Amino acid sequence: METIGLFYGSDTGTTEDIVEKIKNTFSKEIEIHNIADSSKEDIEKYDKLILASPTWGSGDLQADWEDFENNLQEIDFSSKTIALVGLGDQESYSDTFCNSLSHLYAHVKAGNVVGKTSTDGYHYDESESVIDGEFVGLAIDDVNQDELTDERIEAWVKDIEGSF
Ligand SMILES: Cc1cc2nc3c(=O)[nH]c(=O)nc-3n(C[C@H](O)[C@H](O)[C@H](O)COP(=O)(O)O)c2cc1C
């Protein structure tokens, strides 16, 4: 399917707001789904995907994504194009900043993963989501750097739109 499927989880609503902004910034059609209400087949029907999760616990995926992880393992992402969005808090959780990206990445890395981003401008001690010097997706810290959120989304969408 040519339309982009965007699947997200959110405990306190921030990721939900971010994915709306992404949809409004994109020039192509995006269908947004809460992962809490989604099935494996819902994801499988899209060739182009955006997956978004905040980081909870100590570097974990958001709870609805954790519940969905068995499904993720069964999906064949190898012929799909995927972009990832992770949320986190680099001051309070400096050792596990945006680790949610790394969990999503582990499931989809057989596919064409686009939208890796620079770590410039973030201040944290450790993140498992940095591979070969880059975040494996868009890292948003709306707790400490909300003034940068819109420009980060705009730059990221510009970067990946051609791949979609
Ligand atoms: C109890 C708790 C644990 C958290 N753990 C992490 C973490 O390990 N790493 C991180 O980068 N952010 C962590 N965060 C920050 C959240 O990811 C951040 O607040 C995010 O914007 C929440 O998104 P949501 O409103 O969509 O649920 C944590 C926040 C709370 C309250």
Q: Tokens 């405990």, residue?
A: 11
In this predicted structure, the answer to whether residue 1 has a pLDDT above a threshold of 90 is: no
Distance (angstroms) between ligand 1 centre and the Cα of 50 equals 19
Q: What pLDDT was estimated at residue 84?
A: 98
* CB atoms inside a 10 Å sphere around CB 133: 8
Distance (angstroms) between ligand 1 centre and the Cα of 59 equals 8
Mind spelling out the 3-state secondary structure of 90-128?
Answer: CCCCCCCCCCHHHHHHHHHCCCEEECCEECCCCCCCCCC
88 touches ligand 1 (CB under 6 Å): yes
132: left (phi over 0), alpha (psi -120 to 50) or beta: left
In this predicted structure, the answer to whether residue 9 has a pLDDT above a threshold of 70 is: yes
Q: What pLDDT was estimated at residue 72?
A: 97
Going by the DSSP 8-state scheme, the letter that residue 157 receives in this structure is H
Q: What pLDDT was estimated at residue 42?
A: 98
pTM: 0.98
CATH number for the domain harbouring residue 123: 3.40.50.360
pLDDT tens column, 129-152: 999 999 999 999 999 999 999 999
Enumerate the β-bridge partners of residue 112. Answer: 81
Ligand 1 atom 22 nearest Cα = 54
Full domain range(s) for residue 13? 4-161
> Domain count of the chain?
1
Burial class (CB in 10 A: 0-12, 13-18, 19+), 78: exposed
96 φ/ψ angles, rounded to the nearest 5 degrees: -135, 35
Q: What pLDDT was estimated at residue 2?
A: 85
126 touches ligand 1 (CB under 6 Å): no
Percent of the chain with pLDDT over 70: 99
Mean pLDDT of all residues belonging to the chain: 97
Helix, coil or strand: residue 13: coil
Ligand 1 atom closest to residue 124's alpha carbon, by position in its atom list? 11
Distance (angstroms) between ligand 1 centre and the Cα of 57 equals 7
Q: What pLDDT was estimated at residue 114?
A: 98
pLDDT tens column, 43-87: 999 999 999 999 999 999 999 999 999 999 999 999 999 999 999
